[in-house]
Amino acid sequence: MLIFAFMLVLSTINAQTINWASLKEENRHILNANIGVDYGAVFGAGYGYQIKNKLFPMIANIEYSMASGDNIFDDFKTKAGVKIRWIEFHHFQFSTNLHGVYRRYENDYVRLQNFGSDLSGVVGYYRAKWFVAGEVGFDKAIITHFKHSQSYADQYPGVVDGWYGPTTGGNFYYGLQAGTSFGKHDIYVRAGTVLTQDFKTSPLIPFYGQVGYNIRL
C-alpha cells in the first residue's frame, strides 16, 4: 500500500492548470513546467494543444513528471488525455480532465509498472488576469506489473513476478488552485489532500502541492 500511495501521489501532483478566461482561440499551443514538494521535489513538464471546437473549449495534452533523487529515471509518470470546459456563467466555469496514466516506480526490492486513469473536475471563478478554483478527482491504478529484485527473492523465495489487477489501488484527491495571468503567461499554485479509495487509511503522503508556469503560443 505504501508503494502504491507514492506512485499515485506522483500522478496527483503533476497536472497542467489552465486559466480558461485568458485562453484565446489563437493560443493553439500551451507549454508547461511545474514543481511539487512532498518529502522532496517532483519535477514536471507538459504540452497542450487547443482543439478547434465552437461549443466547448478543449485541450489535448500530454504530461511527464519525475521524482528527484539519486536515480531520477527510476520513478516517473506520464499522462495523456483531454481537458474540456463545459460550462461558463458570469465568470464561473466548470471543466473536466480525463487522462490515461502510465507510471514506473523502482526501489531495492521491486520495479513496478502501472497503467491507470485519472478523472477530475474543476469549478471556479475565472477572470483574464486571475482565477481561483476548487478541484476534486480520482486517480486509479488499474493494472500493475511487479518485477522483484534478486535480494527480495532470496528473502521470500515464493514471490511471483507478473501482472496484477484489475484495480490494484486508487486515491481520491481534492484541493484548491489559483493563479495569475499576464500576456501569454500563467503562474499558478495547487494544494490539497489525498485519501485512499476505501476512505479508511491515509496514503504515505496525504497531501499535494505544486507551483506551475504556462506559456500560450
Distance of CA 81 to the CA centre of its chain: 11
Q: What is the pLDDT of residue 96?
A: 97
Number of alpha carbons in the 13 Å side-chain half-sphere of residue 11: 35
Please enumerate in sequence order all residues whose Cβ is within 8 A of that of 6, keeping only pairs 6 or more positions apart, or say none.
75, 105, 203, 204, 205
What is the reported pLDDT for 64? 93
How is residue 193 written as a grid cell? 489532500
Contact partners, residue 158, CB within 8 Å, separation at least 6 = none
For the entire predicted model, the pTM comes to 0.89
For residue 8, give the CATH number of its domain. Answer: 2.40.160.20
Higher-confidence residue of 7 and 173: namely: 173
DSSP assignment string, 134-183: EEEEEEEEEEEEEEE-HHHHHH-TT---EEE-S--EEEEEEEEEEEEEET
Mean per-residue pLDDT, 154-182? 89
Cβ contact 33:45 at 8 Å = yes
pLDDT for residue 10 is more than 60: no
Give the residue carrying C-alpha cell 465552437: 54
Let me know the angle formed at the C-alpha of 29 by 17 and 90, rounded to the nearest 5 degrees.
50
Distance CA 99, CA 114 (A): 14
Res 214: pLDDT? 98
Judge if the upstream peptide bond of residue 203 is cis by omega within 30 degrees of 0: no
Domain extent at residue 204: 2-216
| Residue 202, pLDDT above cutoff 80 | no
d(CA 173, CA 10): 12
Domain count of the fold of the chain: 1
Using the predicted structure, report yes or no on whether residue 136 has a pLDDT greater than 90: yes
Report, as an integer, the average pLDDT of 172-178.
95
pLDDT in tens, 98-110: 999 999 988 888 9
pLDDT at 174 over 90: yes
pLDDT of 200 higher than 90: no
